[in-house]
Structure 1
Amino acid sequence: MNTPQIHQQTGLGILAILTSSISVNAGAAFAKHLFPLIGAFGMTSLRIGFAAVILLLICRPWRKFPNAQNLKIIAIYGVILGLMNLLIYQAFARIPIGIAIAIEILGPLGVVLASARRVIDFVWFILALVGLSLFLPLQTHDAALDGVGILFAIGAAIAWACYILVGKKLSTDSTLNTVAIGMFIAACVAAPFGIIEAGSALFSPSILFMGLMVALFSSALPFPLEMIALKRLPTHIFSIIVSASPVIAALCGWAILGEALLLHQWIAIFLIVIAIAGSTFKQS
C-alpha cells in the first residue's frame, strides 16, 4: 500500500471513530430521558435489541456463517459488548454522562499502559488517577457523586478494555457480519435484565419507537464504525481519537440534558483526556 492510500485509510479511520463518538453520546443523552419510564436496564435492552435486529436484516450473516473457532471469539465479543452497555447505562442513571464516559475511557488507557515501556507513561497513569480521584464522592455537600454510579462506570471501563482487545483480534478479518452476530449475542445478554425491570412497558409503541431511534444512533451506527476504525488505525491512534469522547459526552449531556458540570469535574475530565492522549502518543 503506497503513502496516499495509507493516508486515505487513516483519514477514514479517524472520521469513523469521531462520527461514532458523537453519535453514541448524543444517543445516550436522549436515551436517559426514557430512564424514568423503563429504567436503565430496559433502555439498554431496547437499544441493543433494535441494533441487533437492524444489523441482522442488513447483513444476513446466516448466508456466510463463521466457523466454530471464529464464532467462539465472536461470542466472547458479544457478551463483553452486552455487559459493557449494561454497566455504562447504570452509570448514566446515577452520574452525569460526561463523567461516566470519562471514567469508562480509562479502559482504553489501561490497554495502552499494559504494554507501555516509557517512564513518561507512569506520569500519564498518575495524571489519570488524579483525574479519577476528583470524581470520587469524598465531598460532604450535595454535589458529591453517587459512589455506586462510579463503580458501574469503572466496571464499564474494564469491559471496554476487554472489548478493544477482542475487537482488535476480530478486526483483522471481520466484516459487518461479525458485528451483527456479536450484537445479537449482546442483546441476548441484556434482554432478561430489561424485561425484568421494565415489564410490559418495554413494549409500548411509543417506547419502542424511541428505543429504535436510540438504537440507530447509539449502537447500529457507532459499533460498525468502530470496527472500521480498528481495521485502519493502530491501537494507540485509536485510543488518541477516543480520548476526546468524555468532552463530547459532557457537551452532549449539557446540551440535551442540562447536565452542567462543576469546575473540578471539568478539570478531572481534561486530566483524563490529557493522560490518554499523552500515553498513546508515539514519536515517529
Structure 2
Amino acid sequence: MLGSSMSNQAGAAFGAMAFPMIGPVGVVAVRQFVTALVLVPVARPRLSSLHRADWRLVLALAGVFSVMNVSLYASVERIGLGLAVTLEFLGPLAVAIASSRRALDLGCAGLAAVGVVVLTDPGPTSDGVGVALALVAAACWASYILLNRALGQRLPGIRGTASASLVSAVVWVPVAVVWFLAHPPSAAAVGLAIACGLLSSAVPYVADLLALRRVPAQLFGTLTSLNPVWAAVAGWLLLHQALHVHEWVGVALIVTSSLVVSTRGLAALPRVRPGDVTAQQRRG
C-alpha cells in the first residue's frame, strides 16, 4: 500500500520532468494511452454491450479523466507537486465528509479548510491560477468517485473504468497528433511520460489489487491519505521543490483531517475481494 502511493507520486514527479519539453498536455496524452493499455487487457470491456445509460456514465467519466489529469499537471507546473496533490486530495475528502453525519467529521472539514488557507497563504504573490487548477482537479476526483461508483453498480469489476479509459485514449489521439506536431517530443520526454503512466497507473493498480486481498478497504483509505506527504517528498527529492514551514503545516492539517475521517469504523469493516477496487481507492 505504501509502495503504491509512493509509486503514484514518483510517477507524477517524472511526468513533471517532461513539462519543459512536451508540457502537461503531452504528458497527459501519453499517460492516457498507457492507462488504457494497462486497464483494457485486464478488464476486457465490451463497448457493444453497453446500454445508453451506461454510455452516459462512461462518457462523463472519460471527460473527467482528461480534465482531472490536465488540470492537476498544469497546477503542478505552476505551484509544485506537493501543493497541487494536497489540494487535489480535498476531492475525495469532501466526498467522505459529505456522506457522514458525525460532528467530528464536520469538524475535520473545518480543519481541512484551515489547512487550505495555511497551505496556499493567500496574498498578492500567491499563484491563484495554480491553486484554482488544483481545486478543479479536486472537483474532478470527487466526480470520478461518484461516477465510478455508479458505473460499478451497473458493470462488473472495473469494466466501467476500463471502458472510460479506452474512450478517453481514443479521444486523445487527435489531440496528441496536433500537440506533438507543434511540440516535437524527444525520446527522453516520451520516456519520462511513459514512466509517469506506468508508475502512476500500472504499478499502483497491481499493488492495490494485492493489498486489497489482505486489508480492509478502510485501512486502505487511511494509508491513501498519506499521498500528499509522498507528493511533497517526491517533489523535494526529484524536483527540488522544497516546501516552506507554513506549507508543511497546511499539508499536515489536511492529511490529519483525512486520517480522522477515513479511520471511522476501521476495525469493524470486512475484508474486500480483489475485484472490488473502486474509484475511492484507485485513480485512473
Per the shorter chain, which TM-score range? 0.7 to 0.9
1:186 pairs with one of 152, 168, 188: 168
- Is it true that 1:244 corresponds to 2:256 in the alignment? no
2:238 to 247, 253, 256: 256
Which residue does 2:194 correspond to in 1? 212
Q: 1:212-259, CA deviations, whole angstroms, 9 ceiling, x for partnerless residues?
A: 22211122333566688789855x555423211100111111111111
2:60 aligns with one of 71, 76, 97: 76
Deviations 1:89-143 (A, max 9, x none): 1111101111111101111111012122122222211110111002335345xxx
Amino acid at match of 1:67: L
* Greater alpha carbon shift after TM alignment, 128-137 vs 34-43: 128-137
1:164 to 145, 159, 165: 145
Match of 1:135 in 2: 119
- SS of corresponding position for 1:134: helix
TM-score (norm 1): 0.80
Q: What SS class does the counterpart of residue 207 from structure 1 fall into?
A: helix
2:45 paired residue number:
61
- 1:8 matched to which residue of 2? none
Residue 274 of structure 1, CA deviation: 0.5
Q: Deviations over 1:43-99 (max 9, x none)?
A: 11111123223443555435x854324444333222212221111111111011111
1:180 partner amino acid: A
Indicate the percent of aligned positions where both proteins have the same amino acid: 31
CA distance in 2 between counterparts of 1:267 and 1:189 reads: 40
Which residue is equivalent to 2:108? 124
Unaligned runs of 5+ in 2: 269-284
Counterpart of 1:82 in 2: which secondary structure?
helix
User: Letter of the aligned partner of 1:97 in structure 2?
Assistant: L
2:36 maps to which of 49, 52, 60: 52
Whole-Å Cα distance in 1 between the matches of residues 33 and 147 of structure 2? 21
TM-score of the superposition, structure 2-length normalised?
Answer: 0.80
- Give the superposed CA RMSD: 2.9
Relative to 1, partners in 2 of residues 1:243 and 1:269: Cα closer, same or farther, differing over 3 Å? same
Q: Which residue matches 1:155?
A: 136
Q: Any unmatched runs of 5+ in structure 1?
A: 1-14
Corresponding letter in the other structure for 1:75: L
Matched with 2:278 is none
Q: Whole-Å Cα distance in 2 between the matches of residues 146 and 261 of structure 1?
A: 15
Q: 1:158 to 1:100 in 2, by over 3 A?
A: same
Q: CA deviation at 1:188?
A: 4.0
* Equivalent of residue 102 in structure 1, options 86, 89, 111: 86
CA distance in 2, matches of 1:166, 1:200: 34
Change in CA separation of 1:166 and 1:238 when aligned onto 2, cut-off 3 Å: farther
Would you say how many aligned residue pairs link Structure 1 and Structure 2?
Answer: 263
1:191-230 CA distances to partner (integer Å, 9 max, x unpaired)? 5555555435455444333322221112233356668878
